[in-house]
Amino acid sequence: MKKIWMTGIVLLCGCWTAEAQLPEIASRIRTMAHRGDYYNAPDNTLPSLQMAIETGVDSCEFDVWATKDGHLVLLHDSTFEHVTCGACKRRVTEMTLEEVRALDVGIYKGEKWKGTQCPTLEEALKLFQGSGCIPVIEIKQPGTEKAIADMLKAYDMVLECAIVSFHHESIRRMWELCPGIYAYRNGGERKEMTDEEYVQWFLDSQKDCPYRVANPSAGNMNVRTIQLLKKAGFVVSTWIVDDPQTMHLYLDAGIDTMTTNRPAVFVNVMKERKAGELLKKQK
């Protein structure tokens, strides 16, 4: 992945006014697991994260909220309704850590996972330390940025993680709290836009971003969009891609990163491509 330079970066008097280089860590994120090994284990749990790490995936995304008493925990939805099969419909933000830990968040995936607890961010970071897999934290709840930044600093992982969010203010706050951190926005609804209009929308909407990263859902993506975004200087990512055919198609188009529920499949695709490239060189 080429390194990108752009204007409008360093926070000075409330404005981004200097140039910054795309963090080195960006070039290492190619394969990204979604909520751990979501296909095989209960999402956003330590077993799921561990299984994703063991596949050899480059990075692993998970979602973070704060409990009522200020503890950072992993959960995708705002409530526990899905992961408890409807047994608990309360919001995580209205519960204490003790109440959260008492829940079974694995049973929805089958008896094998019965008794699995909701993990804390601290437990997740400890799991990733030294693993070779990059944690990608999705901020679900604006206002948690300071606590997340403090945790990353405590574990010396500010430059060894990535931050994503649908909340623009959360990304801006993380840039302020952790200079140099690889933080970028999710999303970008295409609506009725042409490929050219969609690329222009990204250019216009990210004028105040330190890094040009386009990360829309796969439903908003196609080969030509990828090619045009790359030509415009973007790091291009998408979610969620699970089938090998589409993975190959988008990689051929020049995409930088894809997020998948099936990390082992993606890792195998990358191995196949590397083997094919080596074979071509030998001929």
Tokens of 45: 């749990």
**Predicted confidence band of residue 273 (pLDDT cuts 50, 70, 90):** very high
DSSP 3-state of 6:
strand
Mean pLDDT of 57-78: 98
pTM equals 0.92
**Predicted confidence band of residue 277 (pLDDT cuts 50, 70, 90):** confident
267 has pLDDT over 60: yes
Q: What is the pLDDT of residues 141-154, one digit of tens each?
A: 999 999 999 999 99
CB-based burial, 243-253: b 16+ in 10 Å, e otherwise: eeebbeebbeb
Mean pLDDT of 132-142: 98
Q: What is the pLDDT of residues 187-238, one digit of tens each?
A: 999 999 999 999 999 999 988 888 999 999 999 999 999 999 999 999 999 9
CB 188 within 8 A of CB 220: yes
244 has pLDDT over 50: yes
- With residue 35 as reference, give the H or E element that holds it: none
Per DSSP, the residues of 100-126 read HHTS--SGGG-GGGTTPPPPBHHHHHH
Tokens of 197: 């209009």
pLDDT at residue 282, rounded to an integer: 83
- Give the chain's mean pLDDT: 92
Peptide bond into 240 cis (omega under 30): yes
